[in-house]
Structure 1
């Protein structure tokens, strides 16, 4: 899952959301250096990644992309799923994506001191380009892929990725709609188990 999904799956606690958002940048036991809510989010991030990596529906989506995108199929599946979540966010969450995103951006600013350096480096660009809301448009995900190509050496053609999505969006939507209830249930259980930790 990509940024929007990780935040969305964190429940309403802003510190859990932020921990989940930065989870990739916190390695090993370094999560223990964070306050409790952030720790819960970082650990939830790891649970989501592990669950997603082993889910048969996600494997099916990745296999569908493999012939065209090879080892980047998982990355694209994450981006496509974030797009599908964003464009129907009110349906999945019962609230506006714009309001959700700006509330989260505000929480990031208020908790800036806790962000890993890597996130501090792109935070303002992330907010000012309204990245979470831009996931709802194909041009927005094409731009996100362009950034990944430029800064993360992702070797794919963003235009080709968009064409693939357009040709296969009904199937991808069906896979996403099968996967989302499962990962939401898993996250709910993890958050419930960690409620009193």
Structure 2
């Protein structure tokens, strides 16, 4: 899952921060944060583990695997954010806009906990409203290009975005088969975390 899905699958403000921090910190540093943020880090990891093992995600990876092989999962993560952003059963358009604003507000309120590289990204994320605009094809193209640019062993001209467009119906079905299961799993993990508090 990518940024929007992780931010949606949270239950407290601290968990929002932890969900974003997970990809930017070393494992040994996780215990230096308040418990609520640690819970977000734990939740992020549980979401990733569940996602990687789900049959629908295995199917979705087949769209990108012929082009990018082991990097297929990263492109599926981006693609899933498109379907989350367009899932009006989860939130209305106004609801998604409000969600995006809340996430930026919460992250800025916890600025002291954010590493410098994340602070730089947050500025761009908020300025261009990445979370809300994942619903648009052009922003998925931008995100997929970013993944290509960061990948050391991938040619920068691989047509992953074209694969996304060509197989959008397949990916939509994978999302439909997968996301309700993920949502229930996240709720279960959160319930366990709350028992620990």
Task: Tell me the TM-score normalised to structure 2 length.
Answer: 0.90
2: distance between equivalents of 1:188 and 1:121?
31
Report Cα offsets for 1:72-96 as digits up to 9, x if no partner: 21111001101111122x3223562
Q: What RMSD, in angstroms, separates the aligned Cα atoms of the two structures?
A: 1.9
Determine the C-alpha separation between the residues in 2 that align with 1:154 and 1:130: 29
Question: Following TM superposition, by how much is the alpha carbon of 1:159 offset from its aligned partner in structure 2, in angstroms?
Answer: 7.7
Distance 1:152 1:47, change over 3 A: same
2:26 is aligned with 1:2: no
Unaligned 5+ segments in structure 1 are none
Mapping of residues 20-59 of structure 1, within 5 Å: 20-59=19-58
Structure 2: runs of 5+ lacking an equivalent: none
Matches within 5 A, 1:123-138: 123-138=122-137
- Call closer, same or farther: CA 1:6–1:69 in 2, change over 3 Å: same
Secondary structure of the residue that 1:136 maps to in structure 2? coil
- Structure 1 distance, partners of 2:156, 2:182, is 29
| 1:117-149 deviation per Cα after TM superposition (whole angstroms, max 9, x unaligned) | 321122111110111112110101111223333
**In structure 2, distance between residues paired with 1:122 and 1:128:** 10
Matches within 5 A, 1:1-197: 1-11=1-11, 13-88=12-87, 90-93=88-91, 96-151=95-150, 153=152, 155=154, 157=156, 160-196=159-195, 197=197
What is the aligned length? Answer: 195
Task: Give TM-score, length-normalised by structure 1.
Answer: 0.90
